[in-house]
Each structure stands twice: as C-alpha cells, then as structure tokens.
Structure 1
Amino acid sequence: MIMQMPKIYRDENVLEAAFARLRYIFTEFDNVYFCVSGGKDSSVMVQLAERVASEMNRTYDVLYIDFEAQYAATIRHIDELKTLKHIDTFFHVALPMALRNAVSMLQPKWICWDEDKKDLWVRPKPDACISLKNCPFDFFRYGMEFENFIRDFALWYHLSKGGKTACCVGIRADESLTRFNTIATPERKITYMGKSWTTKLFHEHEVYNVFPVIDWRAEDIWGAVSQLDLMMNDVYEMMYKNGMSIYKQRLCQPYGDDQKNGLDQFRALEPDTWERVLNRVNGVNFGNIYCRTSALGNIQSMKPEEMSWEQYTVFLMESIGLYNRALMEHYLGKIRKFIRWYEKHEGITVKDIPSEADKKLEQQKKAISWRRIARALEKNDFYMKRLSFAQTKSDEKKLRTFVNTWSNFLTMETAKEDTDLNRFMERQELENG
C-alpha cells in the first residue's frame, strides 16, 4: 500500500516559491513554453513568468489549444495574454481534435473545428491561429486525441529547438489527490535535478513538465491577482456573481464528464453561447425539433434519415436532458413503466422492441415500438397518453411545479396543440386570476 505523503509547509510563501522556480526554469532550460487554457491558474502562471522573463532578459513561448466551444470571455482573455511582451511565439491551435462527449451515448466523441460541421461551429475560427491550412506539425492527424497532441507537441517543439526543454503547466495540487501525488511521490517518476515539481516526459529526450504553482491554493491565485494587478478572465467574476464559490470555479469542458456543471455554467453565464454549444454536439438543431411551438402539431416526424427510431428516442431524451433534466427524468420514468408492462404481459424485452410496428396498431395503442415512443416525445406528450398512461394527480402536481419553476416552460401559445396541456393552462389562468 502506498502511503500518502503529508504536505510540508516552509517559511517561504507560495508567491516567492513560484518566482524562485521560474528563475530556476529560465536559468536551467534552453527552451521554455507555457500551456495556457484561459483559466485562472495558467493565466497567473504565465503572467508571473512574464515578470521573471523581463527581469532575466529571456523570451518564452505559449501553447493554447482552442476547443471551439469556449466562453467569449475566455477568448477575450486569451487575446489579452497575447500582448505579453516577452512572448516569442504564441501557438494558438485551432485544429480538429477528438474530445470526450459525455452528454451522448450516440456520439461519445466530438471533433472541435470539424470541417464537415462548419455550419454548426460555436463561433468562427480566429484569424490568427494554427489551422489545417497552415499547420506546421508533421505529427498531426485529423481527429487525433487532445492528450496525444499535447505529448506529441512537446516532442516536436523540443526537436525543433534542441537543448533542454521545459513545458510549464499551471496545475495545483489542491485541485485533486492525483495532482498532489504528482509531486508528493517523486520516487515514481524521473525528475529534473531532484526537483519534485518536475517530471521527465521522454526517457531519451530532455523534455520536462514543470509545475510552478503546484502548491498554490485558490486564495493564493486571487491574492496574486489583487496584489500584482494581474489580468484575469472575466468569466470568474460572472461565476462569483452567480453564487459560485471560488473553490468550485473551473472552466468546464461543456461536454466532459462533469457536463451537467459545464452546461449549466454556460447557460447561466453566457446564454447565447449555451444555445450554440447545445446545438453543436448533437449535430441536429434540437431547438428546431423540440422547440415547443405549434410546429410540433405537424404530422411528419423530424427524425433524421440516418438515425433509427431507437437512436432518435435516445437523441430526444438526451437533448431534453440538456435543456431540462427534471423533464427528462419524468419522461424516462414513464418510458420505463411502458417497457416493463410489455415485458411482463407480452414477453417483449428491450432488445426485442421493434423499430416500427403496424401504424394502425400503434395509433390504437396496441403495439410497442421505438417509433411510438419517439413520436410521444416529439409531440410534447407530458402525460404520455400516447403510451397508454392516464392523466394523474401526481403528473398534474409535477407539471404545476415545472411551470412555476421555469417561466418559459409552458405558455398558452405553446400548449394549444395538446388538448390536455391546453386545459391545464386554462385552469392555471383561472387560478391566477
């Protein structure tokens, strides 16, 4: 069993320690570059480096991977960082890379800046960036994993420069146990001259990851911003005003494993960006399919041809969940009961559900199919009467809660295509006077 090493505190404060590390880095390494994300940690790190570079008459490079689905405030801050005087080359990379997509079972990966999805891009590609048209990286492959790009870039950069290379990364041990163990267990790794805040990347090459602010806390980051009057990403101010603790403020990848926080964050801070972010990954403009307008009274389904009815059902459920998780869970409960009934009484398991059944039988509610389920979702059938459910008091109570919680959840205009919803809204109007 590996024992976790305790933190060892010194008389030197973390700001002094960071400056000392940066001076050491610029003294020992021939080539230095900084990985920035627009987040608070890497932003502070590179601005401290700017001061040390000025003091030592050195230059450095910066690597920024632009994931396309970014806050507008983050892009503005990146443009601010580009003005730092001692930057030699700023690698603003906007290449099509594969990223995790935890919001969809249908599409577990998505490719940022995918040329085939140009009409869905969250924002236009920046003018001054590295794209497919001017890519200098011989290692790059269309749709390669982000993690592989980071490692391959380090080797490419080192081989193009020669000498010893430091890749500076703005991670803090306080963010996670894994990060703490990065420096707490040096026996697991090769370090540079025994420095616990360094890690050798390649056995045969002198390339090291270095972590100048590894021992900082969130308070230290904001203390440095205030004390040194550093530039900062305005998105953190918006997060704070939105009631988010400084310990939970992170630039979440909107479709990553923490996607609910990421998407909710986008929705609260930059609603316009949020709408584009949602449409981007599903590949179909969900707002056009499930926008709760009179268009939903149509006879034709809006299922894309390339999707099966089962896939389309999953797509609709995932998309509803992105907009309103409580509503998705309401529908999911109904669908599960519907499927269980057919399994118990007809012996039809989930894997046996047909894509389509006889249309007459579906309309008479006498056959199960993925089409029947999808059409109920498309029709905004809150009570799921199309799946043979009766309108219950608990459903009515739930719908009332939804309407009172979200002001635009349901209106007279959007309810008019469904008789039951229309009656509900009429009762609401009478009760509200």
Structure 2
Amino acid sequence: MSLYKYPLVQNVLEASQERIEWSLENFPRVCVSFSGGKDSTVMLHLTAQLARKRNKKISVLFIDWEAQFSCTIEHVMNMREAYRDVIDNFYWVALPLTTQNALSQYQPEWQCWEPGAKWVRQPPAEAITSPDYFDFYQPGMTFEEFVRSFSDWFASNRPAAVMIGIRADESYNRFLTIANARKQRFADDKPWTTVAPGGHAWYLYPIYDWKTADLWTWFAKTGNSYNPLYDLMFQAGVPPRYMRICEPFGPEQRQGLWLYHVIEPDRWAAMCERVSGARSGGIYAGQDNHFYGHRKILKPESLSWKEYALLLLDSMPQNTAEHYRNKIAVYLHWYINKGMPDIPDTQDGDIGSKDIPSWRRICKVLLNNDYWCRALSFSPNKPKHYKRYSDRIKLKRKEWNILCSSD
C-alpha cells in the first residue's frame, strides 16, 4: 500500500459520523479517550450525540495530569455533565503515572500525583485515586503502558472500541499510525482502525482526516462547547497549529509553559515548586527559542557533531549520562548490524521526524532532553524492569566497545 491521501466523496463530518455510527452498531462497548483538547472534544460531541439518538451508552477515559489549566478541568466537568445521560462510566484517572520531564537533566522523568509530593492541585472527589481500582495498574507506570492495559481491561475479553482523536495532518508519525498497512485492521475498508495489544479492543480514529480549520468551522457552525483555554491562547498570540492541551513538560508540550505564568500565576508557582526545571522552561522553551534545540541546533565550530555529543554526555549528571549512553550504544549497535559501522556526522533531513541516523540527530536528542529517546525510535522506559535493563546494557557496551570510556 502506498502512503498517499485519497479524497473521499463525503466531507469529513459525514465520513466521521458514518464511522462512529458503524462503531456504535458493531461494538457492544465503546470508550472515548478524552483529553479536553479540540480534537477529542469534537470526537466526544459527535459520539455522544449519535449515541443519544441510538439510545446507546458510552464510556469516557480522561487522564488527569495534575498540572493542568483550570479551564481544562472545568471543560471536562462540563462535558461530563452535558452527556451524563449517555455516559455509562466516566473514568477520571488521577493515579501516579510516569512521563518525561524535558526541562531537567536532574529529574528527567516526573510522576503526576506522586505519593508524598506537594501536588499542584487536588483531584476532584469523583476521580479514581485508589491504586486498586484497576487490577492491571502498577505504581508509576507510564502513560503508554496505562492506556494499552486499560484498553484490554475495558474489553474484558469481549470486542470493544476505544476512540482516539488523532489526526493524520498533525504529524508524520500520526499519519503513519493511520496509513501503516502492516497494522492489523478490523477490515480492509476500515483503515482508521487498528487492533489494540490485547487483541480484543480496537483503536478507532474517526476524525483522522480532519484539518485544524475543519475543527474550528464545526465549532463555529454548531455552537457546541470547546475548551475556553483556546480563546486565551489566541488572545496571547499563540498560532492555532501550536495550541496543545496535554501533559505540560514533554519536549513538544513545554513550549506552552509560559502560558501558565500569564494565565494562572498561582498554579504556575505551584508547578515551579513541584517540577524541576519548570521555571527555566517557562523562560526558554518558547516557539522561537533554540535553547532546547527544538527546531534548530548549533554547536561549537571547532567540534564535530560526534565530539559535541560526547561533550554533552560528559557535562550531564552521571545517572542521566549513563542512561543516554545505554540508549545511544544500542542505537549505534543496531546500525553496525545493518552494515553501518560508523553513522555519519550529518545527513540531509537527519533532525526531522523520520529517523535518519547521524551524530547531529543524537545531539538533538541530548539538547532536546528527549530522555526516552523517541527520536532514536525507542519506546518509553518501563520502571519495573529499568534497573535490570540498564545494568545489562552497561555490560553490553563493554562487549561492543561503544561509549564505555567513562565506565
């Protein structure tokens, strides 16, 4: 299958409604993954309204990241109330989950709702805060682990659908999520479906072909509610393509930290106290700032990119440096096995979304504080097994003679 976009005879709204109606008809259980952002808000509106017409019940999953705008929390509560008649279960999850903190090399990961910490805000009374609520939950598991396990738990060995509001236009990786022909689909004519890891639930992407303009046109024409935070972002001069509502400290998300300082100074003060590097991130992580190497990276002229990468590693806290050395060693060894004993210093397109190997790409990972090394095609760390994995890779580095000089 070639990776091209093919126009449909329907408009995106009609196509999405048809997909959602098919989902409600063919799956006994449907859960909408809701973040409070514009994409998932449109998806929840459409799904709940069609479920109401069909006299069907749906479930909703909302991950509360603790450090979130008041507008977002209020919007989530309003949406829950507006569709209370069709929502069977509203899973408001306020459990400790681990994610990246791309603001600090001393605390490269952080845990929302961490036990014993002084939280940015308190969870609502109806939120799920007991670790025993889900039998699959493990303390500090990553968001990715949680949502994969949740889909299997939600299915309970029966067919179930989890609707996810991603759009192919947002990024190359999201386009591939839809266009990847190697993923198992519900049917050949349902390219917007893919099987979840457990094999019983299906991930559905009913609004995958919408553009940003389609979303705002729909809100304007229907008058349906959306997160008022977008209005504040617009007033603050944030371009629509950069408006994101999600956990705030990742490599992409940190660019909006300065908004907390502008919109909710009290909450921003709590975030600075709670999360290492938050204050500097609010100053240096803006769209046009190259401090974290987000869009453009520079190096000393006297050094090659490989030399600069080694210099960056030597300048880091020891534990963080060892983590990166392990990841980079695995990355380099993989390319050695592919017949590339030395990756080039630079290549065309090597700091884009596609993984094109080079030392410049490795430097971008280090400057970007991409602790999980997603740009090198790694998945998030699994806290339960990380120590054993780290020790094993350190031994492998010596065996491979890759980045072992500091040991």
CA contact (8 A) 1:239 1:269 kept: no
**For this pair of structures, how many residues does the alignment match?**
289
CA contact (8 A) 1:103 1:259 kept: no
SS in 1 for 2:242: coil
CA displacement at 1:215 relative to structure 2: 0.3
Whichever residue aligns with residue 198 of structure 1, its letter is: T
Distance 1:320 1:41 in 2: 29
CA displacement at 1:151 relative to structure 2: 0.4
SS in 2 for 1:124: coil
SS in 2 for 1:174: coil
Distance 1:53 1:252 in 2: 26
**Residue 152 of structure 1 corresponds to which residue in structure 2?**
149
**Of 175, 178, 181, which residue of structure 1 is paired with 2:173?**
178
| Residues 159-238 of structure 1 mapped to structure 2, 5 A cutoff | 159=156, 162-185=157-180, 187-194=181-188, 195-202=190-197, 205-238=199-232
CA displacement at 1:167 relative to structure 2: 0.5
SS in 2 for 1:32: strand
CA contact (8 A) 1:96 1:112 kept: yes
**Residue 397 of structure 2 corresponds to which residue in structure 1?**
none
1:37 paired with 2:35, answer yes
**Residue 58 of structure 1 corresponds to which residue in structure 2?**
56
> Unaligned regions of 5+ residues in structure 2, if any?
292-312, 316-407
CA deviations over 1:373-408 (Å, ceiling 9, x no partner): xxxxxxxxxxxxxxxxxxxxxxxxxxxxxxxxxxxx
Whichever residue aligns with residue 114 of structure 2, its letter is: D
Higher helix share: 1
**Of 16, 19, 24, which residue of structure 2 is paired with 1:18?**
16
**Residue 26 of structure 2 corresponds to which residue in structure 1?**
28
Distance 2:264 2:246 in 1: 13
SS in 1 for 2:240: coil
Return closer, same or farther for 1:321/1:29 CA change in 2, 3 Å cut-off.
same
Among all aligned residue pairs of Structure 1 and Structure 2, give the percentage whose two residues are the same amino acid.
36
CA displacement at 1:22 relative to structure 2: 0.4
- For the pair shown, the structure with the greater C-alpha radius of gyration is 1
Task: State the TM-score, normalized to the length of structure 1.
Answer: 0.63
CA contact (8 A) 2:100 2:109 kept: yes
SS in 1 for 2:202: strand
CA displacement at 1:131 relative to structure 2: 0.5
CA contact (8 A) 1:4 1:181 kept: no
Return closer, same or farther for 1:193/1:67 CA change in 2, 3 Å cut-off.
same
Whichever residue aligns with residue 23 of structure 2, its letter is: I
**Residue 249 of structure 1 corresponds to which residue in structure 2?**
243
| Residues 6-405 of structure 1 mapped to structure 2, 5 A cutoff | 6-83=4-81, 84=83, 85-117=85-117, 119=118, 121-132=119-130, 135-159=132-156, 162-185=157-180, 187-194=181-188, 195-202=190-197, 205-282=199-276, 318=277, 321-322=280-281, 324-325=283-284
Distance 1:110 1:33 in 2: 27
CA displacement at 1:87 relative to structure 2: 0.5
Distance 2:12 2:279 in 1: 46
CA displacement at 1:17 relative to structure 2: 0.6
CA deviations over 1:299-328 (Å, ceiling 9, x no partner): xxxxxxxxxxxxxxxxxxx566335449xx
Distance 1:65 1:55 in 2: 27
CA contact (8 A) 1:190 1:200 kept: yes
CA contact (8 A) 1:253 1:262 kept: no
Whichever residue aligns with residue 104 of structure 1, its letter is: S
SS in 2 for 1:116: coil
CA contact (8 A) 2:62 2:92 kept: yes
Runs of 4+ off more than 4 Å = none
Distance 2:279 2:60 in 1: 39
Task: State the TM-score, normalized to the length of structure 2.
Answer: 0.67
Return closer, same or farther for 1:255/1:59 CA change in 2, 3 Å cut-off.
same
CA contact (8 A) 1:35 1:170 kept: yes
> Unaligned regions of 5+ residues in structure 1, if any?
283-317, 331-349, 353-433
CA displacement at 1:48 relative to structure 2: 0.4
SS in 2 for 1:175: coil
CA deviations over 1:109-156 (Å, ceiling 9, x no partner): 111111210x3x1111211110027x4211111111111000001111
CA displacement at 1:260 relative to structure 2: 4.0
Whichever residue aligns with residue 109 of structure 1, its letter is: E
CA contact (8 A) 1:95 1:112 kept: yes
**Residue 290 of structure 1 corresponds to which residue in structure 2?**
none
CA displacement at 1:268 relative to structure 2: 2.7
CA contact (8 A) 1:5 1:184 kept: yes
CA contact (8 A) 2:272 2:279 kept: no
CA contact (8 A) 1:64 1:93 kept: yes
Asked which structure has the greater RCO (Cα within 8 Å, sep 6+), the reply is: 2
Whichever residue aligns with residue 102 of structure 2, its letter is: A
Return closer, same or farther for 1:271/1:167 CA change in 2, 3 Å cut-off.
same
**Residue 360 of structure 1 corresponds to which residue in structure 2?**
none
CA deviations over 1:200-231 (Å, ceiling 9, x no partner): 113x6321100010000011111111222211
* Pairwise CA RMSD: 2.5
